[in-house]
Amino acid sequence: MYVLYTFLYALGLCAYAPRTLWALIRGGRYADGLAQRLGQVPPDLQEIAPGAVWIHAVSVGEVHAARGLIRHLRKMQPGVAMLLSTTTSTGQALAARSEADAHFFCPLDLPSAVGAYLDTLRPQALLLVETEIWPNLVRACWTRGIPVAVVNGRLSAASLSRYRWLGQWWRSVMGQVSLICARTPREAARFRALGVSAERVFTTGNLKADAAVLASPVETRRALADVLQLEVEAEVLIAGCTMPGEEDLVLQAFARTRAARPDIRLLIAPRHPERFDQVASLVTASGWQCRRRSSGGPDGAEVLLLDTIGELPVAYGLGMVSFVGGSMVPTGGHNLLEPAVYGQPVLFGPHMENFAALAEEFLEAGAARVVNDADELADAWMTLLSDEGQREEMGSRARKVAFRDANAGRRTARVLSALLS
C-alpha cells in the first residue's frame, strides 16, 4: 500500500510541476527551499548533534502554535536543540523569528527525501502540529525507532470520514504514531475512533490559545500602532486572514459602518502575502485611502493594510471588534483565539469547517456572532460599536474562552516527557 501511495503522491507532484515551474520563473513562494524539499539537508542542520527535537508546523498558524510549546520544551529539555520545519514560505518567515535553533523546509513525503533528513538529524522525536500526518515520514521514523507525536491534534468529522475510507491501511499508519495530544475531548474521541489506543490519546488544549497569550505584550502593540500612525484613542475595526472575494464584502460593510461613524478606521490583513498588492489596489479602487504597514501611505488613511507576516496576533489587539476571515467564503475559516484573547467580540462567517468545534464553543458562550454577508457584518459592527455594554460583555466571554487553554503548552510538554529522553 505504501508503494501505491508513493506512486500516487509522485504522480500528484508531476501534475503540479507546471504550476510550480511557473511560480519558480516568477520568483514566487515555491522558489524558496526547492533543494531542501527534495531532500538536500542544509549545512547548518548537518552540524547539529543527534538527539534534537524536530517540530513540523505547516504554515503561519501552526508556527504560532509551536512557539509556545518550544518555550516549555526548553525548560523540560535544557540543552536539546529544537528544529522547526514548515511547508510554506510564510511559515519560514515566522519560523526565522521563533526561538527554534534552526528552521528549514520540510522535505516532500518521498522515502529518499525524508530518509535523508532523518539519517542526518537522528532526532529523538518528531512532533507534528495539528494533522500533518505524512505516511512515508511516519513510517521512516517508525523503522528507525524515532517516536512520533501529534500535538495540537485537530480532527474534524469530515476528516474522520475521509480517513476511515482508507480503512486498515490508515489505521496502520496511525498505529505508528506514539502519542496524540488533541485539542478537545471531541477531537480526542475521533482519534480513538481511527484506532489509536486510548492510552496514547490525551486532551491537552489548544496551543494557539497558549501562543496568543504569550505573544501579546502591550509595548509590541503600541509600537505597531505608532508605525500605523494610530492614536491611543483611535477606533479600529479588524478584518484578519481575509481570502479572495472576502475583501469586497468587508469594504462594503466598512462603507456602511463609516457612514454612521465617520471616525472609524479599518485594518485589513489578507491571509496570503502574494495578494497584498491586489488588496491595496482594491482598497483604493473602492475610494479609500490606504496606508500600508510595509511602506506607509497617506496620514489619516481610512484603511490600514497589514502587509507583513506574523504581526496579525498583535494587530488584533488594536481593534474594538474583529472579523476573522476565510469564513464568509468557503475556505474553512481561521483562528478565533487571536482576537478573543484581547477581550474583543468575534465575528465570523458561516464557513468555519476547519475550526468547527471552536466556533461552536464561542457561539455557545455568547462570545461571537455569525455574519453571512456584508450587510450582516455592517449591522454587527454598528450594533457593537454603539452598545459599549454589549461589546464588553461579549468581549469578556471571548477572553474567558481563549484563556481556558492558556496552559496548553505546559500540559502538552508534560505529556511529551514520556517520549523525550
Task: Indicate the domain borders of the chain.
Answer: 32-206+406-416, 216-403
Which pLDDT value is given to residue 367? 97
By residue count, the chain amounts to 421
Q: Is the pTM of this model over 0.85?
A: no
Report which residue type is found at 267: L
Sign of CA dihedral 362, 365, 368, 370: positive
Helix, strand, coil in percent for the chain, rounding step 5: 50, 15, 35
32-206+406-416 and 216-403 in the same fold? yes
Active-site annotation holds for 247: no
Interatomic CA distance for residues 59 and 14, integer angstroms: 23
Q: Residue 128: helix, strand or coil by DSSP?
A: strand
Domain 216-403 CATH assignment equals 3.50.90.10: no
pLDDT tens figures, 168-207: 999 999 999 999 999 999 999 999 999 899 999 999 999 9
Helix residue ranges per DSSP H, 123-217: 135-144, 157-165, 167-175, 185-193, 207-214
Q: Are 325 and 240 in contact (CB under 8 A)?
A: yes
Q: How many CB atoms lie within 10 A of CB 14?
A: 9
Q: Are 367 and 401 in contact (CB under 8 A)?
A: yes
Across the chain, which has 421 residues, the per-10-residue mean pLDDT values are 83 73 55 83 92 95 91 91 93 90 95 96 96 94 97 90 89 94 94 93 91 75 92 92 97 97 96 94 96 92 94 94 97 93 95 89 96 98 96 96 87 91 66
Interatomic CA distance for residues 350 and 160, integer angstroms: 21
Which pLDDT value is given to residue 414? 93
Which pLDDT value is given to residue 115? 97
Which pLDDT value is given to residue 415? 95
Q: How many CB atoms lie within 10 A of CB 222?
A: 14
Interatomic CA distance for residues 107 and 102, integer angstroms: 15
SS3 letters across 293-346:
CCCECCCCCCEEECCCCCCHHHHHHHCCEEEECCCCCCCCCCCCHHHHCCCCCE
Interatomic CA distance for residues 295 and 279, integer angstroms: 14
| CA distances (Å), origin 367, targets 338, 342, 356, 358, 359 | 13, 12, 15, 11, 10
Angle between helices 167-175 and 157-165 (to 10 degrees): 110
Active-site residue (options: 62, 132, 247, 302): 62
Which pLDDT value is given to residue 218? 83
Q: Residue 349: helix, strand or coil by DSSP?
A: coil
Which pLDDT value is given to residue 215? 57
Which pLDDT value is given to residue 259? 96
Q: Are 147 and 156 in contact (CB under 8 A)?
A: no
Which pLDDT value is given to residue 350? 98
What CATH architecture applies to the domain 32-206+406-416?
Answer: 3-Layer(aba) Sandwich (3.40)
Angle between helices 408-416 and 60-76 (to 10 degrees): 60
The DSSP symbol for 194 reads: T
Angle at 57 between CA 130 and CA 321, to 5 degrees: 75
